[in-house]
Amino acid sequence: MRTGTANILLIGYGNPGRLDDGLGPAFAEAVRAKMLPGVTIETNYQLNVEDAAMVAEHDVVVFADAHAACPDPFSYEKLMPRTEFAFSSHTIEPATLLAIARDVFDSPAQGYALGIRGHEFDEFGESISPQAGRNLDAAVRFIEPLLLVRDAAMFEAESVTRCVVKPTSMNGAEECKTESM
Amino acid sequence: MVATTDTKKIVIEPVTRVEGHGKVTILLDENNEVQQARLHIVEFRGFERFIQGRPYWELPVIVQRLCGICPVSHHLCAAKAVDRLVGGENLTPTAEKMRRLMHYGQTFQSHVLHFFHLCSPDLLFGFDADPAIRNVFGIAAKFPELGKQAIFMRKFGQECIRVTAGKKIHGTGAIPGGINKNLTIEERDFLLKDMDQMMEWSRGAVKIAKDYTVENLEMAAGFGSFDSSHVGLVREDGALDLYNGGLRAIDKDGNTIFDHMDNQKYLDFIAEEVKPWSYMKFPFIKSIGPEDGWYRVGPLARINACDFIDTPEAEAARQEFAAVTNGKPNNITLAYHWARMIEVLHSAEKIQELLHDDDLQGEDLVVKGEPRREAVGILEAPRGTLFHHYKIDENDQVTMCNLIVSTTSNNMPMNMAVTGVAKKYLSGKKEITEGLLNHIEVAIRAYDPCLSCATHAMGQMPLKVKLVDCEGNVIDSRTKGASW
């Protein structure tokens, strides 16, 4: 892996019409706005099998999705390619996509799942709940330094840490701090 | 899953490698003879009610939320109905051709995904092959070039959608009376650079499906096959037309039941029956009645119903297809795959033709005319005929919506196929293996069902098979996510 020059793909996926399920695309758009070099941004409602071709063109792939159960503000973990087969064209899991990229395109791409904790999914609507919005901001602050440095090893190093939220400032803003697990 | 001689009811839940959530129950008597087999659809959607009160101009965008599988079909079908609501059904050449490009792209990618990723493991490895290899990874390992082809073909179709609809999923290209953009030269050239490759791979896909069917004709003819009527849109001159035309129904022998039906009067020709054990309705041809009026839709029905295909290579393939049954309708369920790949080739030819048509760079995008309060849109979605019917009030809000999706029309045929395969392959067996149960799923997959929008739930869309004894006890079942 080329230290400091990794080609990075960030895929934010989810349904923006189902409130916090839109966290993945919202995250991707927030990162896109920063116009970081060497980072490709994609958004979609769901992952598709043809995304494997795009995954194979990158060294590091971050799959950003809403998470319905992890602690606030987000979870971040390394993915291992998985060939256990549970697949329709509706749904394909990031680990399965990595396995297809590996098996079809000989891709060594590393994958990471960034699950941003959402709280409201049950209604129709194109807004993000207040707590989910804070989680989104924390996730952007977390990922930005990694995307700036583009060192594949750093993505992996961060995957063995966890993120916690601590209210730190006078105005109630929250700061994300990573701690070793 | 393995069931012993004591078991009497098999439940497959969920059925895998299909779109949506359903289950199959198979009832056995004390001698393990199959008495009844049914495909149950266990989701309830309620979309037709949900849409009431929305302004009509939202329809082409909002109906796509039915699901992420064939959003373009719902987008365009709703747009066709809304065109009539604004009196803009006579589209400009640019608008119609942009929509057609979108639609052929959708058909191309949908058929490719279904055949290569969901079905080819059954055909290339065998219905009862080791499930550990009977999947897309098995294909990638044994047929690596095929694995790549399938992904790049699917990607190409998605790009056709992106450049016409604005996005690969849930785009907004079609608007009341037209389209919101034309095709730029850059977009055209972007697609053209891969066109020759797509044509070559499409020819190869037809060959795979044809060779499989011909080489296994005897088995296929007895695999969940049955005589049926067939329904599909045809152009005025009888040509296959996936976007526009009049509906034609033929019987098992090819005799016309109705032809060039007035799409606005579809309720004079088609009715729907409700059964207590499924959320999915059972449509039938009214003139025949509910008992025998059920029919098939989708690639097999379309290739059977049309007189010819207006692209040369697909037409040559259709003639080979028709020759197998001496020009009579082909009623072999597994022949769906061959028909589907003929449509892949047809779609590729159509895309190529359109990309060389300057109308796509036209500037005249929208027409309007005398408004109406009621309209029907019909088109051929990848899985079959799709009906959208709307009524609106004086405030332009939807007061009524009726959708008949293709999987609904194929409801009875899928049940016929499940019953036929269960009786042939499971009856009298002392041991019901995973491979035997996969035979049931192979029959269902041939129809490429999309069980999610065929019901009237957002969210999880998997399929279940159940085995119940003659006293009604569930003996065994399978669920998606289980290691099979």
What is the pLDDT at residue A171? 37
Whether residues B140 and A104 touch (CB distance < 8 A) is answered with yes
HSE-CB of B304 using CA atoms within 13 angstroms: 32
Three-class secondary structure of residue B196 per DSSP: helix
Tell me the pLDDT of chain B averaged across its residues.
Answer: 87
* Domain shared by B83 and B228, yes or no: yes
* Domain shared by B24 and B79, yes or no: no
Residue B480 has its nearest CB partner, among A18, A50, A86, at A86
Average pLDDT of the residues in B175-196: 97
Please indicate, yes or no, if residue B261 is contained in any of the structural domains.
yes
Amino acid code (one letter) for B179 = I
Length of chain B: 484
* Domain shared by B39 and B113, yes or no: no
| pLDDT exceeds 80 at position B130 | yes
| pLDDT exceeds 60 at position A85 | no
Three-class secondary structure of residue B233 per DSSP: strand
Residue A49 has its nearest CB partner, among B67, B117, B458, at B117
Neighbours of A67 (CB within 10 A): 22
Whether residues A100 and B136 touch (CB distance < 8 A) is answered with yes
Nearest Cα of chain A lies from the Cα of B46 at a distance, in angstroms, of 14
Whether residues B154 and A83 touch (CB distance < 8 A) is answered with no
Please indicate, yes or no, if residue B393 is contained in any of the structural domains.
no
* Domain shared by B89 and B146, yes or no: yes
Domain that holds residue B235: 49-361
Neighbours of B360 (CB within 10 A): 22
* Domain shared by B144 and B282, yes or no: yes
Average pLDDT of the residues in B454-483: 49
pLDDT above 90 coverage of chain A, percent: 63
What is the pLDDT at residue B203? 98
Scored b (16 or more CB within 10 A) or e, B444-477 reads bbbbbbbbbbbbbbbeebbbbbbbbbeeeeebbb
What is the pLDDT at residue A125? 80
Beta bridge partners of B366: B178
Amino acid code (one letter) for B293 = G
Q: Shortest CA distance to B22 belongs to which of B9, B7, B37, B8?
A: B37
Query: CB of B39 within 8 A of CB of B414?
Result: yes
Residues B308 and B328: their CA atoms lie apart, in Å, by 13
Neighbours of A172 (CB within 10 A): 8
Which chain B residues touch A if contact means CB-CB below 8 Å?
Answer: 16-20, 65, 67-69, 110, 113-114, 117-118, 131, 135-137, 140-141, 144, 147-148, 150-152, 154-155, 158, 168-170, 452, 458, 461-462, 480-481, 483
Please indicate, yes or no, if residue B399 is contained in any of the structural domains.
no
Average pLDDT of the residues in B202-221: 97
What is the pLDDT at residue B83? 98
Residue B19 has its nearest CB partner, among A89, A99, A103, at A89
Residues A158 and A154: their CA atoms lie apart, in Å, by 6
* Domain shared by B98 and B217, yes or no: yes
B43: which chain A residues are within 8 Å (Cβ-Cβ)?
none
- Hey, where are the domains in chain A? 8-180
pLDDT digits (tens, 9 = 90+) for A91-105: 688 998 999 999 999
* Domain shared by B350 and B426, yes or no: no
* Domain shared by B465 and B432, yes or no: yes
Residue A53 has its nearest CB partner, among B68, B137, B151, at B151
Residues sharing a CB contact under 8 Å with residue B207, sequence separation 6 or more, in sequence order? none
Least confident piece of the model among B271-280, B395-404, B451-460: B451-460
Query: CB of A93 within 8 A of CB of A80?
Result: no
Please indicate, yes or no, if residue B442 is contained in any of the structural domains.
yes
pLDDT-derived band at B299, boundaries 50, 70, 90: very high
| pLDDT exceeds 60 at position B455 | no
Last residue of one domain, picked from the residues B315, B334, B361: B361
Residues B391 and B374: their CA atoms lie apart, in Å, by 4
Residue B198, burial from CB neighbour count under 10 angstroms (0-12, 13-18, 19+) = buried
| pLDDT exceeds 70 at position B162 | yes
For B111, name the nearest residue in chain A, comparing CA atoms only: A89
| pLDDT exceeds 80 at position A167 | no
pLDDT digits (tens, 9 = 90+) for A34-78: 999 999 999 988 888 889 999 999 999 999 999 988 999 999 999
- The encoded tokens of residue B285 equal 């041809």
| pLDDT exceeds 50 at position B457 | no
Neighbours of B303 (CB within 10 A): 27
Whether residues B137 and A18 touch (CB distance < 8 A) is answered with no
B452: which chain A residues are within 8 Å (Cβ-Cβ)?
90
HEC string of chain A? CCCCCCCEEEEEECCCCEHHHHHHHHHHHHHHCCCCCCEEEEEECCCCCCHHHHHHCCCEEEEEEEECCCCCCEEEEEECCCCCCCCCCCCCCHHHHHHHHHHHHCCCCEEEEEEEECCCCCCCECCCCHHHHHHHHHHHHHHHHHHHHCCHHHHHHHHCEEEEEEECCCCCCEEEEEEEC
Average pLDDT of the residues in A113-135: 91
Residue B140 has its nearest CB partner, among A90, A91, A103, at A103
- The encoded tokens of residue A22 equal 């839109």
Average pLDDT of the residues in B466-481: 60
Whether residues A53 and B155 touch (CB distance < 8 A) is answered with yes
β-pairing, B9-12 vs B465-468, is antiparallel
Query: CB of A118 within 8 A of CB of A19?
Result: yes
Tell me the pLDDT of chain A averaged across its residues.
Answer: 84
Count of structural domains, chain B? 2
Whether residues B481 and A49 touch (CB distance < 8 A) is answered with no
Please provide the DSSP assignment of B146-174 as one string: HHHHHHHHHHHHHHHHHHHHSSSSS---E
Residue B347, burial from CB neighbour count under 10 angstroms (0-12, 13-18, 19+) = buried
Q: Shortest CA distance to B394 belongs to which of B372, B415, B416?
A: B372
| pLDDT exceeds 50 at position B123 | yes
Query: CB of B86 within 8 A of CB of B253?
Result: no
| pLDDT exceeds 80 at position B62 | yes
* Domain shared by B282 and B423, yes or no: no
Tell me which CATH code domain A8-180 carries.
3.40.50.1450
What is the pLDDT at residue B168? 67
What is the pLDDT at residue B481? 35
pLDDT digits (tens, 9 = 90+) for B364-418: 999 999 999 999 999 999 999 999 999 999 999 999 999 888 888 998 999 999 9
What is the pLDDT at residue B259? 97
Q: Shortest CA distance to A73 belongs to which of A172, A181, A167, A176?
A: A176
Query: CB of B347 within 8 A of CB of B106?
Result: no
Last residue of one domain, picked from the residues B314, B332, B361: B361
Average pLDDT of the residues in B350-373: 97
Last residue of one domain, picked from the residues B339, B361, B383: B361
B151: which chain A residues are within 8 Å (Cβ-Cβ)?
49-50, 52-53, 100, 104
Helix axes B144-165, B93-112, angle to 10 degrees: 150
B169: which chain A residues are within 8 Å (Cβ-Cβ)?
44-46
Length of chain A: 181
* Domain shared by B26 and B115, yes or no: no
Nearest Cα of chain B lies from the Cα of A24 at a distance, in angstroms, of 15
Residues B15 and B482: their CA atoms lie apart, in Å, by 11
Please indicate, yes or no, if residue B162 is contained in any of the structural domains.
yes
Q: Which residue has the higher pLDDT, B41 or B273?
A: B273
Nearest Cα of chain B lies from the Cα of A100 at a distance, in angstroms, of 7
What is the pLDDT at residue B3? 40
pLDDT digits (tens, 9 = 90+) for B139-153: 888 898 998 999 999
Phi, psi angle pair for B261, to nearest 5°: -55, 145
pLDDT-derived band at A80, boundaries 50, 70, 90: very high
* Domain shared by B145 and B266, yes or no: yes
Residues sharing a CB contact under 8 Å with residue B196, sequence separation 6 or more, in sequence order? none
Amino acid code (one letter) for B94 = T
What is the pLDDT at residue A181? 31
Amino acid code (one letter) for B169 = I
HSE-CB of B394 using CA atoms within 13 angstroms: 0
- The encoded tokens of residue A51 equal 């995304």
Please indicate, yes or no, if residue B298 is contained in any of the structural domains.
yes
* Domain shared by B263 and B165, yes or no: yes
For B480, name the nearest residue in chain A, comparing CA atoms only: A86
Picking from A90, A103, A107 by the largest number of B CB atoms within 10 A of its own CB, the best residue to mutate is A90
Cβ contacts from A onto B, under 8 A: 80
Please indicate, yes or no, if residue B325 is contained in any of the structural domains.
yes
Average pLDDT of the residues in B310-314: 98
Please indicate, yes or no, if residue B218 is contained in any of the structural domains.
yes
CATH number at residue B283: 1.10.645.10
* Cβ within 8 Å of B, A 69-98: 83-91
